[in-house]
Structure 1
Amino acid sequence: MAQLDHRNLRKEIAHYEKSDTKSSIWQVINTLGPFFLLWFLAYKSLSVSYFLTLGLCIIAAGFLVRIFIIFHDCCHGSFFQKRRANQIWGTITGILTFCPYEQWKHSHSIHHATSSNLNKRGTGDVWVMTVDEYVAASKLQKLTYRLYRNPFVMFVLGPIYIFLIAYRFNTKNAKSRERRNTHITNISIVIVIALLCWLVGWQTVLLVQGPIFFLSGSLGIWLFYVQHQFEDSYFENQDNWDFVKAAIDGSSYYKLPKVLQWLTGNIGFHHIHHLSPRIPNYYLEDVHNNHKSLQEATTITLSSSLRSLHFRLWDEKNKRFIGFREIKRMMEKESEDKLSVSVSSVKNS
């Protein structure tokens, strides 16, 4: 699509940028209600079979991801019409998901404003190195980056570090409102966990909330990771970077089965969300279905999305992601070419 069409497209979908209070309230009911019910059933099932408990925890984790989508929309000010309502429900759902509302709202807004901009990486995004940066990096930097991009570190250790540790602290330049909200969230989490431990015992809380927390955290990181890490994504330096192209070409359409699409709050229509963050999640599918140009975005499925695990470095020359094996072959070939040139020079001399 041409840049002009992109600009017109933003105007065409602008009328979706208004929440419907009834739809938002209904989403709160059909999301938080089942989550609390599943948590209670998981607790009761401990006396029957822990396999049954784990099954219920898996479903509850899906609903916690959906709660996060409500939190996410509140951070964008798109879930409710009134700012105060978004703040209140954003804080409540932030407590349930272990995410401080004001802190996450700030970092995520930076992510949207700088997504795919190679000159403005580092806040609210996944660490991406270019091929040239990796080649020039020290051995320690390469090791650190390889560990960061390792699936075990990112999707197993990542949720524990991010949601339990990183979000508990304010950033150095955080404003008073952000600091206050983080403290309120932390205190509220401690009170809720302490109350649950007093009511059902710490072992029960660990056996039920542990799997729910871990699975939902891993799924959340996966969703965030996979929708920007596809082979022909979009990354540009500041001089050539374009917000609309970053949204359409730098974010994917994650085509999920209907049940998973519902549980993930339509976040699979990520290209539309980045194009217009003020559109509530329950309108994203309508926007996609009613605008053919948006259906041309890169589409990934559950099976094809697994390939993203092999995409590690952004190749600026060829405008695509490559893996560590490919960069190794490139570096070996470059060394062979240099050696060949040196040998040829010696022979000619």
Structure 2
Amino acid sequence: MRKGKELILATKAFAKEDRSKSWWHLVTTMMLFFASMAGSFFAPWFALKIVFGIFQAFVSVRFFIIYHDYLHHSILQKSKLANFIMTLFGVYILAPKSIWKRSHDYHHNHNSKLFSASIGSYPIATRKKFESMTRSERIVYLTIRHPLTIGLGYLSMFIYGMCISSFVSSPKRHWDSLLTLVFHASYIALIAIFLGWQSAFAGILLPFLVGHALGSYLFYAQHNFPGVIFQANEDWAYEGAALKSSSYMKTSAFWAWVTGNIGYHHIHHLNSRIPFYRLPEAMKALPELQTATVTSLNPRDIIACFRLKIWDPERGEMVGLS
């Protein structure tokens, strides 16, 4: 069984895109995205608008994974058209390129480290650290990790985290975060004025609420699941963080399509240059990738992930407060 650099080198065979396949996935996803948006705006009945709005949410998650892969340099590099599309989509989806790439690259380089900034990830406290916190510090920590906060990722992770917080911390560096907020507010207002509140709700607010809730939960559960391992910085290794601190989320074919195979998260963390459509191929070919800890979108697994609050070094596992 290969380990370390040998295993990472073995994955390089899959870190090659099929350019025509990349464009196929992007173009078909865009077509479904705009078709569902049109349906949510112009369908004759509110119930039908809602159906289109929910489907738009699912397609937006898939579009985000394609955007995410583009910023990892795994697909469509050196294409001015792709760069234009991805820049616009980043603004539309409340994750402009400058802040998403900076925070997500940090996350990949520090995933599962116990003593690093929680940039691009949910904070992790050891039992000792949690017990030494003041009451207000505990409230903040638990609020960030609360299911309601994660479920309202549209407000907490994207509007506040990606846009407001990033702009306040560095206005010159993240001016596009302010531009994103202005565009988003204007977009909602214009649709409400010209097409009515039902279209604004079904075509914008509902897709953002549902899509960002799913995206926020995926991001949480991929690194907060029963069996996850966290390590002190000096013991941290890139390969171990990928295979032991990133889950394999087993899903149906439909959810695999919606989530762009991001459930193969341990492989993505081992080599982020593998295009999303080649992740299943890599797992099938390399036995070393087939032993990852499994979670799913089953309600029992979701509850189990949400119950985890702090890292207990003595037990070597994430535990609840009880």
TM over 0.5: yes
Structure whose alpha-carbon radius of gyration is higher: 1
2:24 counterpart residue number: 26
Structure 1 residues 85 and 277 mapped into 2: Cα distance closer, same or farther (>3 Å)? farther
Query: What do residues 1-44 of structure 1 show as CA deviations (whole Å, max 9, x unaligned)?
Result: 6xx62321111111222322211111111111111111212223
SS at match of 2:318: strand
Aligned pairs for 1:1-349 (under 5 A) are 5-45=3-43, 47-48=44-45, 50-82=46-78, 84=80, 87-156=83-152, 158-169=153-164, 170-171=166-167, 174=170, 178-186=173-181, 188-189=183-184, 192-193=187-188, 196-197=191-192, 199-303=194-298, 304-306=300-302, 307-325=304-322
* Contact 1:35–1:64 under 8 Å retained in 2: yes
Instruction: Give the whole-Å Cα distance in 1 for the aligned partners of 2:255 and 2:116.
Output: 32
Instruction: Give the whole-Å Cα distance in 2 for the aligned partners of 1:64 and 1:57.
Output: 10
Structure 1 residues 238 and 165 mapped into 2: Cα distance closer, same or farther (>3 Å)? closer
Instruction: Give the whole-Å Cα distance in 2 for the aligned partners of 1:86 and 1:322.
Output: 43
- TM-score of the two chains, using structure 1 as the length reference: 0.84
SS at match of 1:272: helix
Unaligned ranges ≥5, structure 1: 326-349
CA drift at 1:180: 4.6
Structure 1 residues 302 and 202 mapped into 2: Cα distance closer, same or farther (>3 Å)? closer
| Deviates most, 309-318 or 14-23 | 14-23
Which amino acid in structure 2 is aligned with residue 142 of structure 1?
R
SS at match of 2:242: helix
Query: What do residues 97-154 of structure 1 show as CA deviations (whole Å, max 9, x unaligned)?
Result: 1211111101100000000111213211111111111111112222222222221122
CA drift at 1:175: 8.8
CA drift at 1:172: 6.3
SS at match of 2:235: coil
Which amino acid in structure 2 is aligned with residue 62 of structure 1?
F
Structure 1 residues 188 and 138 mapped into 2: Cα distance closer, same or farther (>3 Å)? closer
Which amino acid in structure 1 is aligned with residue 222 of structure 2?
Q
CA drift at 1:207: 3.5
Identity of aligned residues (%): 28
Instruction: Give the whole-Å Cα distance in 1 for the aligned partners of 2:151 and 2:83.
Output: 29
Structure 1 residues 141 and 267 mapped into 2: Cα distance closer, same or farther (>3 Å)? same
Instruction: Give the whole-Å Cα distance in 1 for the aligned partners of 2:275 and 2:14.
Output: 8
Unaligned ranges ≥5, structure 2: none
Which amino acid in structure 2 is aligned with residue 323 of structure 1?
G
Structure 1 residues 211 and 173 mapped into 2: Cα distance closer, same or farther (>3 Å)? closer
* Contact 2:17–2:274 under 8 Å retained in 1: yes
Structure 1 residues 65 and 89 mapped into 2: Cα distance closer, same or farther (>3 Å)? same
* Contact 1:53–1:208 under 8 Å retained in 2: yes
| Deviates most, 206-215 or 83-92 | 83-92
SS at match of 2:226: coil
Instruction: Give the whole-Å Cα distance in 2 for the aligned partners of 1:171 and 1:190.
Output: 16
Structure 1 residues 100 and 300 mapped into 2: Cα distance closer, same or farther (>3 Å)? same
* Contact 1:18–1:81 under 8 Å retained in 2: no
Query: What do residues 283-302 of structure 1 show as CA deviations (whole Å, max 9, x unaligned)?
Result: 11111111111011111122
